[in-house]
Amino acid sequence: MGIRRVIHVVTMVAVTLALVLTTAIPFASAKPHAGMSAEEYLRYRPNELGFVPVLMYHNIVAEDAYQDPRVDPFMYRTYDQFWNDMLWLYEHDFYLVGMNQVVSGTYDIPLGKHPIVFTFDDGSSLHFSAQLGDDGELIIDPNCAVGLMERFYEQYPDFGRGAHFGLVPWHKFSWPQFEEDDLFETKVQWLIDHNYEIGNHTLTHDDLTAIDLDEFARTISGPAIWADEFMGADHPMNATRVLTLPFGMYPTEEDQPERVDMLANGFDYDGYHMQLTGVLRLNGGSTRSMWSTNWNPFALPRIPVQDDVFDEFKSVVLEDPGRYYATDGDPETVTIPWPLSEGLTGTLNRDAIRDAGLDLVKYDPRDGHIYKPDRHHKMTRQPSSLDVRRYVHDC
CA quadruple 108, 114, 118, 119: dihedral, nearest 10: 80
Of the candidates 51, 114, 50, 58, the one whose C-alpha atom is nearest the C-alpha of residue 304 is 58
Min. distance of Cβ 123 from Zn ion in angstroms? 9
Min. distance of Cβ 47 from Zn ion in angstroms? 32
371 close to 393: Cβ distance less than 8 angstroms: no
Residue nearest to Zn ion (CB): 121
Footprint on residues 245-284 left by Zn ion (CB under 5 A): none
119 close to 244: Cβ distance less than 8 angstroms: yes
Min. distance of Cβ 202 from Zn ion in angstroms? 9
164 binds Zn ion (CB under 5 A): no
DSSP string, 76-132: EEEHHHHHHHHHHHHHTTEEE--HHHHHHT-----TTPEEEEEEEEE-BTTTS-EEE
Min. distance of Cβ 246 from Zn ion in angstroms? 5
Which C-beta is closer to Zn ion: that of 41 or that of 120?
120
Min. distance of Cβ 394 from Zn ion in angstroms? 25
Residue 26 class from Cβ within 10 Å (0-12 exposed, 13-18 middle, 19+ buried)? exposed
Min. distance of Cβ 323 from Zn ion in angstroms? 29
119 binds Zn ion (CB under 5 A): no
351 close to 358: Cβ distance less than 8 angstroms: no
Which C-beta is closer to Zn ion: that of 121 or that of 180?
121
Q: Verify cis geometry, omega within 30 degrees of 0, for the bond prior to 46.
A: no
122 binds Zn ion (CB under 5 A): yes
**How far is the C-alpha of 379 from the C-alpha of 172, rounded, in Å?**
45
Which segment (22-30, 117-125, 153-161, 349-357) binds Zn ion by CB under 5 A? 117-125
- Bridging pattern class, strands 300-304 and 278-284: parallel
Which C-beta is closer to Zn ion: that of 124 or that of 341?
124
Which C-beta is closer to Zn ion: that of 13 or that of 163?
163
> How does DSSP classify residue 277?
S
Which C-beta is closer to Zn ion: that of 168 or that of 340?
168
Min. distance of Cβ 266 from Zn ion in angstroms? 23
Which C-beta is closer to Zn ion: that of 57 or that of 107?
57
Which C-beta is closer to Zn ion: that of 123 or that of 383?
123
171 binds Zn ion (CB under 5 A): no
Which string of x and - marks every residue 75-114 that binds Zn ion (by CB under 5 A)?
Answer: ----------------------------------------
165 binds Zn ion (CB under 5 A): no
Query: Angle, to 10 degrees, between the axis of helix 2-23 and the axis of helix 257-265?
Result: 30
Of the candidates 38, 46, 43, 30, the one whose C-alpha atom is nearest the C-alpha of residue 324 is 46
Which C-beta is closer to Zn ion: that of 56 or that of 353?
56
94 close to 157: Cβ distance less than 8 angstroms: no
Which segment (119-127, 141-149, 295-303, 333-341) binds Zn ion by CB under 5 A? 119-127
121 binds Zn ion (CB under 5 A): yes
Which segment (99-107, 116-124, 215-223, 354-362) binds Zn ion by CB under 5 A? 116-124
Q: From the CA atom positions of the chain, what is the Rg in Å?
A: 21
Which C-beta is closer to Zn ion: that of 122 or that of 330?
122
**Residues near Zn ion (CB under 5 A):** 121-122
